Structure 1
Amino acid sequence: MEHPNGDRLKTALLLVAISGLGLGLVFYFTARGDLAQIIWFASVVPVLAALLVEILRSLWRGEVGLDIVAALSMSAALVFGEMLAAAVVAVMYSGGTFLESFAEGRARREMWDLLARVPRSATRHRDGGLEEVPLDDIVPGDCLLIRQGDVVPVDGKVASASAFLDTSALTGESLPVRVDNGGDAMSGSTNASEAFDLVAARPAKDSTYAGIVRLVEEAQRSKAPMSRLADRWSLGFLAATVCLAFAAWWFTADPIRAVAVLVVATPCPLILAVPVALVAGLSRAAHFGVLIKGAGPLEAMARTRTLVLDKTGTLTDGRPQIVSIDSHDVMASGEILRLAAALDQATKHPVAQAIVAAAKARGLSLPVPMQVTETPGEGLTGQVQDRSVVVGEHRFVVGHVGGAEAEHPALAAGSVLVAVGIDGRLAGHLVMADPLREGTHRMLSGLRDQGVERILLATGDRQEVAERVSQGLGLDGIRAGLTPDQKVLLVLTERKHGPVMMVGDGVNDAPALAAADVGVAMGARGAAASAEAADVVLLVDRVDRLGPGIEIARSARRIALESVVAGIGLSVLGMVAAALGYLTPVQGALIQEVIDVAVILNALRALRVAPAEAWAPELPASGTNTNPLQGNQA
């Protein structure tokens, strides 16, 4: 992020240069050319001094940039008495840097919106009343009141009947999202309806929004490889400029032509177009819920050729869902689910929580279980409304209900079987599976259209499970049974095909994310370690956001290259014209400024990149609530 003092200095230098040029012209046209020369000289010196300081700082860091051309052109104009040309160059250079700063600020608007929305305090329930407390005082378990229009300050669970949250600033979702009682509320979202209570799940500093803000700040401090490439190109451009200026002076014995050549080359589109286009791309991607940690990862994202996908929680939803309920008794399937879910309320096991969620989604009333005993990794026993209930693995349940081991349904690879015993009999089975994420087929097809040549599945799960999940996706390879270090080796091996992007969500994916050219983490529910190791974080729990992210990255990089090629080409033509005597130094400065403004405006086109409609989410299934007044099911 540009420091405020830096912005003020650029503004002050521009005002000094413009005032000096204007006042000098007044004296010049009133026959006081001597005073005009002095005023022009005085207005150029501060700009040149600030430029020399910046050049020395760059050289100290080992960087050689095109600011040297600007310093040479102003210095040469002063030495050879071209005060007006020097004043015009000072205005054009300070104006160019100011315009660049303004353009980058415009491009960062989406990110600044995130930073500006950081809440400073929260309203906490305490002893029957409400108190306003700083965010740092909030601890897990605190009950907070989130009023209409408030930004959710910490991650937590909704304690009221429901909440309607506007997540557009985080994910780009245009409609409010409904979160029912017990559902997760992401910090940084806005309460779009009536006030609700929230139970804090973690401290503010560890919440999703605080992490997002840190990532944004990192992104704003970054410098893209393409920008460094522009610095390397600048050496060649600097050498060509100096040689052409010297040749024009040598063959014509006219130093003013050399001055004109230097002036036309100042400032250069290389130092203006690239950062503006890439920062605009970062901002545009953030609007769609794709937080890219810097211009470097964005440029690498645009060059991705191989995509490696984790399975659980990335390619699949990561949350088992009930696909069928098989009753072995006269009991109805709904009653089997109700009693099983009621008992499962007593454990945090992900399969049990999925059963509870399925029962609540069907509107079933779940009584409080009593006398619950949990055998880790096997199942639970307990009393539900005076009925003895056992839920867990098939052998575990059969062992408790007695009798011969009953047949259980044939399972497809990757499915989970949960047996339910009621009052000493095997009542039935819940068949569960981890479904493929919605829109995955369309996303993978679209990524191939974007230039991704190889798509691989990398998972620690069994081979048969991986094959079943990926059936029909047209993947180029499946690597199953991988340990974290084997995932890293796979990423490194695939680099022979080009830049590699790795997508994952778990702690075990963090090493591979760090090893990839571009690591992408599922930030909504993924592990903190994977988000920390990744270069890109998907703020919404949908892997299909990869499509818009890559499309925006490619568009931003293409726009940056277009701006550079067009700008450099026009600058070279102007330099040749100046060397041949067709342009005076003043005319050259004015023409170059037109070129610079044009390339900056072209670079800002990256703010208007509209991802293809092919990335739009699929139509909701029948019965899904899409009324914006009622919100969507979380």
Structure 2
Amino acid sequence: MLPVVIISAIPIALLWDVKPWGSAPWVSALATRMSMSMGSGDGVASSSAMPFPPDPSIGQWIVVALVAYTVVDTVRGMIDDIRHGQVGVDLLAVMALLSTLAVGEYWASWAVVLMITSGEAIEEYAQSKAEGNLNALLQAAPRTAHVSNMPGVGEGTGDSWFQTVPVDQVKPGDVIIVLPGETVPVDGELLSGSATLDLSAINGEPVPREVYAGARVMSGAVNGATTLAMRATELAADSQYQRIMALVSEAQESRPAVVRAADRLAVPFTVLSLAIAGVAWAVSGSPTRFAQVLVLATPCPLLIAAPVAYIAGTGRLAAAGILIKTQDVLESLGRVTQIFFDKTGTLTVKQPQVVRVELVTSHRPRLDEDHVLMFAGVVESYSVHVLAKGIAAAGRDAIERLHARYAAGQRACPEPEASWAGHGRDYPVVRHVEEIAGKGIAAEVNGHAVRVGRLSFAAAGDDGFLATGSGTGFAPSDTSADAQAGLRRTRFGTLAADEMASYVSVDGSLVGRIVLRDVPRANARETLSGLHALGVEKLTMLTGDKRASAEIIAREVGIDEVHAELFPEDKVAAVRDAHSPVTMMVGDGVNDAPVLAVADLGVAMTDGTSTAASESAQVVIMNDDIAAVPRAIAIARRTRRVMLQAVILGLALAVVGMVAAAFDLIPVVVGAFLQEGIDVVSILWALTAVIDRD
């Protein structure tokens, strides 16, 4: 309607005085009678009296038509709002239109129509701007998939070996072809040898990730430069990106309590506006004064500015890799006073990291730390033990260092065939892998027998007794706890409270131990300091680990209070018994599900591959970055601050304008345009919530 209203100004102006039917006799007679009743003794209508009912010209009838359409459309909108449980408070706009028309202020009526239609346009612009980050996620959703229709896929490049179908038709087990630059349509397993995937839409990870055959491939990931083949493991509705979209849609459609409160405040504002307008009419005796006040009465700061600010805040969170279930979460985020943290995987990295390698003296210089890490790492890459991933990662780094040394010309290995440490080979050759639960894992690496695990397992010979070549100083049959403790003390010393170790033997001889510990995230201390700076009163750790190791991590990262050696029900009780207005629990969203659910705000930190988190948490951090916690709080607080500023500023200007109009300081046409300016100011101010200033 906005272009129609703007263009209509031309025929209204040109046909303002055109009355091809002439003046209606009844209008003149009525005007004379009204003039006489108001005390005009000469029988002629007073120039100050407005004719009622009016006798419009063609141009003025155009205004009447615009007003009629706008009133009907506005009333229908009010009824629809009420049906959806919202307060329909566009009554002021309807009364402003009818009152200006009744007193013959046609240009003011046109200005109010312009105000309403342009307000809708501004609202749509503001909403689309505020929802930009959310809409980007929704629009990137995969809608089709290429399903292979012949065996042996993955080698072709044309379209002869697949058919394109809607993504909803993909079934688990289907082989999917994803072309370069396309979005992975459903969750699945990679069949191609390798692929490079951009996960930024899922978890904000800026650097593409390289994955290999058998790896999980998530919907929403963007394929790199080569075609990949994958096998679908989930329906589209159950895949990762669709779950993200469900969270985004849920947040978009929700209305936070503060916005619902703003809707309710619009009712007393309407009553106040009518009261000011009625008093102005009663005191002045002029119905025009009533219209003058109403054209300046605008609830838009409440009805539009508040939700625009909150949608903008929700979009900013999404852009930062933080998804919320409802906009009410924004309100709660800004009032958090105590935060509970899980330890392992939240304050620390997700698996224990290698901190040092301790060698048995008799094996120097034949083996160095990188040799031991290489042997242990390639063996542990086949294990599911809790320490395996950390050792495997350290082993991969060690192999790179050994390759670099070999390429630089270093030939430190004493054996002519250079079989130690994989020198001269791209990758170590591994055979005969065997894992014994609770003890360790053994394999043949480059022809050498390697054992990694508990001391009794690594140092034992084939018969299960401590090997004589271990240099233990104990008899071969002496496998008692005292003997093993003596070996640890004499060869390696005592581990710290938060350390753990795996022992390594090569060819039946104990060569060293690899010491690991829970390492704090690199930005954990800075993040927790930032939370204190934001005014969060208490930071608490909840963990099932031993108190000694928990307190070491707590001191390193800046935790205020430690609750250690807890069972899941103990964690729930600790959060439930907290005496804080708003509590938050931050965990991994899987084993912390009960305590995430009981906190006022549950925050699940994931790397974009976990979907269980969305079931128990109100906030899901998709980029596995603990720094997102203070960022979320800062965004929430700024969103609320901007919203309040926009509402208070808009309402204050409107009230000042209405009072001025009541004293006849603002003409009715000028007031209509001033109200438009007030709406623009409040809405644009609310839109500043989308700007990143934190």
Q: Do these two structures clear the TM 0.5 threshold for a shared fold by scoring above it?
A: yes
Give 5+ residue unaligned stretches, structure 2. 21-55, 154-160, 401-425, 467-478
1:391 aligns with 2:452: yes
Structure 2 counterpart of 1:342, from 373, 378, 381: 378
Alignment check: 8 A CA contact 1:169 1:287 kept = no
Give 5+ residue unaligned stretches, structure 1. 1-11, 612-634
For 1:605, what is the secondary structure of its paired residue?
helix
- Shift, 1:583, TM fit: 2.2
Higher-Rg member (1/2): 2
1:566 aligns with 2:649: yes
- Shift, 1:528, TM fit: 2.6
- Shift, 1:571, TM fit: 0.4
Partners in 1 of 2:295 and 2:236 — Cα distance?
Answer: 53
Computed over aligned residues only, the root mean square deviation of the Cα atoms, in angstroms, reads 3.1
In the other structure, the counterpart of 2:626 is: 543
In the other structure, the counterpart of 2:249 is: 217
Deviations 1:100-127 (A, max 9, x none): 1221112211221112222234456763
For 1:391, what is the secondary structure of its paired residue?
strand
Q: Which moved more, 1:286-295 or 1:523-532?
A: 523-532
The residue correspondences of 1:281-430 to structure 2 (distance < 5 A) are 281-328=313-360, 330=363, 331-363=367-399, 367=428, 369-398=430-459, 401-403=464-466, 404=479, 405-406=483-484, 407-408=487-488, 409=492, 410-430=494-514
Q: Give the residue type in structure 2 aligned to 1:553.
A: A
Percent identity reads 36
Deviations 1:489-525 (A, max 9, x none): 333433x433222211132322332333332211316
1:504 aligns with 2:587: yes
Q: Which moved more, 1:195-204 or 1:369-378?
A: 195-204
In the other structure, the counterpart of 2:30 is: none
Q: Give the residue type in structure 2 aligned to 1:216.
A: V
Structure 2 counterpart of 1:179, from 198, 210, 215: 210
1:466 aligns with 2:497: no
In the other structure, the counterpart of 2:617 is: 534
Partners in 2 of 1:65 and 1:486 — Cα distance?
Answer: 48
Partners in 2 of 1:535 and 1:297 — Cα distance?
Answer: 7
Alignment check: 8 A CA contact 1:523 1:540 kept = yes
Q: Which moved more, 1:136-145 or 1:507-516?
A: 136-145
1:276 aligns with 2:308: yes
Partners in 1 of 2:301 and 2:558 — Cα distance?
Answer: 43
Partners in 2 of 1:203 and 1:179 — Cα distance?
Answer: 24
The residue correspondences of 1:211-250 to structure 2 (distance < 5 A) are 211-250=243-282
In the other structure, the counterpart of 1:9 is: none
- Shift, 1:326, TM fit: 2.4
* Shift in CA distance, 31/107, structure 1 to aligned 2, threshold 3 Å: same
Partners in 1 of 2:9 and 2:601 — Cα distance?
Answer: 48
Alignment check: 8 A CA contact 1:305 1:454 kept = yes
Alignment check: 8 A CA contact 2:170 2:235 kept = yes
- Shift, 1:204, TM fit: 4.4
In the other structure, the counterpart of 1:622 is: none
For 2:504, what is the secondary structure of its paired residue?
strand
Alignment check: 8 A CA contact 2:301 2:679 kept = yes
Alignment check: 8 A CA contact 1:73 1:266 kept = no
Deviations 1:235-273 (A, max 9, x none): 331221122122112222222222222221135311121
For 1:179, what is the secondary structure of its paired residue?
strand
Alignment check: 8 A CA contact 2:190 2:212 kept = yes
Alignment check: 8 A CA contact 1:21 1:43 kept = no
Partners in 1 of 2:679 and 2:121 — Cα distance?
Answer: 12
Structure 2 counterpart of 1:76, from 99, 118, 122: 99
1:85 aligns with 2:108: yes
Alignment check: 8 A CA contact 1:462 1:481 kept = yes
Q: Give the residue type in structure 1 aligned to 2:82.
A: L
Alignment check: 8 A CA contact 1:96 1:267 kept = no
For 1:437, what is the secondary structure of its paired residue?
coil
Alignment check: 8 A CA contact 1:110 1:284 kept = yes
1:585 aligns with 2:668: yes
* TM-score, normalisation: structure 2: 0.78
- Shift, 1:467, TM fit: 0.7
* TM-score, normalisation: structure 1: 0.85
In the other structure, the counterpart of 2:689 is: 606
Alignment check: 8 A CA contact 2:306 2:647 kept = yes
- Shift, 1:160, TM fit: 6.7
Alignment check: 8 A CA contact 1:164 1:176 kept = no
Q: Give the residue type in structure 1 aligned to 2:345.
A: G
- Shift, 1:530, TM fit: 2.2
In the other structure, the counterpart of 2:16 is: 28
Q: Which moved more, 1:508-517 or 1:15-24?
A: 15-24
Structure 1 counterpart of 2:524, from 440, 443, 446: 440
Deviations 1:468-503 (A, max 9, x none): 111143322112233334333333433x43322221
Alignment check: 8 A CA contact 2:203 2:607 kept = no
Q: Give the residue type in structure 1 aligned to 2:561.
A: G
* Shift in CA distance, 528/180, structure 1 to aligned 2, threshold 3 Å: closer
Deviations 1:299-329 (A, max 9, x none): 2222222222221211111122211222336
* Shift in CA distance, 442/503, structure 1 to aligned 2, threshold 3 Å: same
